[in-house]
Amino acid sequence: MPDVLIVVESVHSEVTAQMISVLKAAMLSKHQSETACIRVDVISSADLAADVLSGGKWASSDHLLCPLTLHLPPALSFPAQAIYSACRDVAGLRQQLAAWQYAIGSGNFWLPIALTAKGPLYAEVIGLASEIAASADLSKRRYTQPVHLNDAQRQPLYALGQRLLRSLSAPPAVYLMQFGWQGNTLCFDRLFPFPAAPAIASLKVQTPDLLACHWACLSSQPIVDLVIDQLD
């Protein structure tokens, strides 16, 4: 197993720090029995861009890249580059979904999809806590899981997620599909090719949590099931 480089938007964000801590724990626990433990480094997207531009050590590194941001240097080459580029083009993805006759617009729900080598596993939907749902300050947003949907809502949602990932030839990873509803109509917003900030709602709620799932997908580890723990 190669060493890992986690790329984040900012190393100073409280939410990001929490995500890094959980992800690193998952990485190290999966390999604690190996003779040589993997090394996990963390870098901001701005510092990585400067390093790649100057031909620094990360420009030709053989580390396994684990970005938790869409803001990556254009010159950076890595296996998941195509899916990150597609997800960064929000307008392009929305145009693609509109061509499929889906409604397009803003949404405050996220469908987590753990795409393993054997196929997708759908986690419970994540939403915004109602009391701060309208907050424009993303750092103040709080997320909740599970959001209970009926079968009539779930099936079109799962079908859209599967069709979208297949169309993008998505590699194994945890994806968050952001969506909403226009009346009773499913509305596509955007796709994240990693467990973005809403994924923290799965901590101490889902087993395994979405960050642990992401590492399992990236490192070809099996995921048997996604289970919501008993809530008080």
Within 10 angstroms of residue 44's Cβ, the number of other Cβ atoms is: 18
Q: Do you find a cis peptide bond into 156, omega within 30 degrees of 0?
A: no
Residue 163 CA to residue 23 CA, distance in Å, equals 28
pLDDT at 59: 76
pLDDT over 60 at 140, yes or no: yes
**Over residues 107-119, mean pLDDT:** 96
Model confidence over 55-83: pLDDT tens digits?
A: 888 877 788 999 999 999 988 889 999 99
Between strands 103-104 and 185-192, the pairing is: parallel
Tokens at residue 51, please?
């390093």
pLDDT at 53: 87
**Over residues 202-208, mean pLDDT:** 95
pLDDT at 159: 97
**Over residues 196-225, mean pLDDT:** 95
Please list the residues that pair with 115 across neighbouring strands. 120, 173
- pLDDT, the chain, mean: 90
Residue 32 CA to residue 223 CA, distance in Å, equals 18
Tokens at residue 52, please?
């790649």
Tokens at residue 176, please?
């968050």
Model confidence over 146-191: pLDDT tens digits?
A: 999 999 999 999 999 999 999 999 999 999 999 999 998 999 999 9
pLDDT at 231: 57
Residues in CB range of 213: below 8 A, 6 or more apart? 112, 114, 121, 123, 174, 195, 223, 226
Query: pTM of the prediction?
Result: 0.93
**For residues 215 and 23, is the Cβ–Cβ distance under 8 A?**
yes
pLDDT at 35: 42
Three-class secondary structure of residue 214 per DSSP = helix
Strand blocks (E) in 83-194: 103-104, 109-116, 119-122, 125-128, 143-147, 173-182, 185-192
First to last CA, the chain: 39
Counting every residue written for the chain, the total comes to 232
Least confident of 60-64, 70-74, 138-142, 219-223: 138-142
Amino acid sitting at position 178: Q
In whole angstroms, how far apart are CA 167 and each of 51, 71, 118, 122? 33, 22, 17, 18
Which residue from 131, 138, 151 is spatially nearest to 200, judged by alpha carbons?
A: 138
pLDDT over 60 at 36, yes or no: no
Three-class secondary structure of residue 81 per DSSP = helix
Tokens at residue 227, please?
């289970």
Give 183: exposed, middle or buried? Use CB within 10 Å, 0-12, 13-18, 19+: exposed
pLDDT at 2: 80
- Could you give all domains of the chain from N- to C-terminal order, each with its CATH number? 1-78 (3.40.50), 90-232 (3.30.470.20)
